[in-house]
Amino acid sequence: MEHSDPSISSDSTVHRPLLPSNMEQEYLRTLAKEQVKTLHKFSGSNSEDVIHWLQCVEQGFDRALLQPVNKYIAVQFYLHGAAAKWFQFNKSNINDWVTFKSELIKVYQPSFHQSLLRMEQRHQTLGESVMEYYHDKM
């Protein structure tokens, strides 16, 4: 007489993750490309938040599955005005995506005083969720 483990069913099914079809993969690639096209440009003006801009750009690039080397190439098309001039002047010292991000933040991150003032002046807007307000304020 065979003794079998009652925890193992003879009709067990192995579940494999579903892989997207070729059509779905193409749709996702197209969607990611369209999202990358809608990313905002950065000029380096005082009203722009460099860290928030970099987060948005990185999220868009990640959705498009860009590798860091391609992020570094692509981001150059999203710079204009003073930021584009800054990059052209300094690009011989900026060779990769990580260096680009750190150097851009060094140059365009507002001073502590400016950040504190902006935080103090920030008020929740009509229709803005508490979480959006909280994250922006912090």
pLDDT at residue 17, as a whole number: 60
Distance of CA 107 to the CA centre of its chain: 20
What is the Cα–Cα distance from 125 to 38, expressed in whole angstroms?
Answer: 24
Binned at pLDDT 50, 70 and 90, residue 91 comes out as: very high
Identify whether the C-beta of residue 96 lies closer than 8 Å to the C-beta of residue 69. yes
* Measured CA distances, 101 to 17, 26, 116 (Å): 35, 30, 23
Q: What are the tens digits of pLDDT across the range 10-47?
A: 555 666 666 667 888 787 777 777 777 788 999 999 88
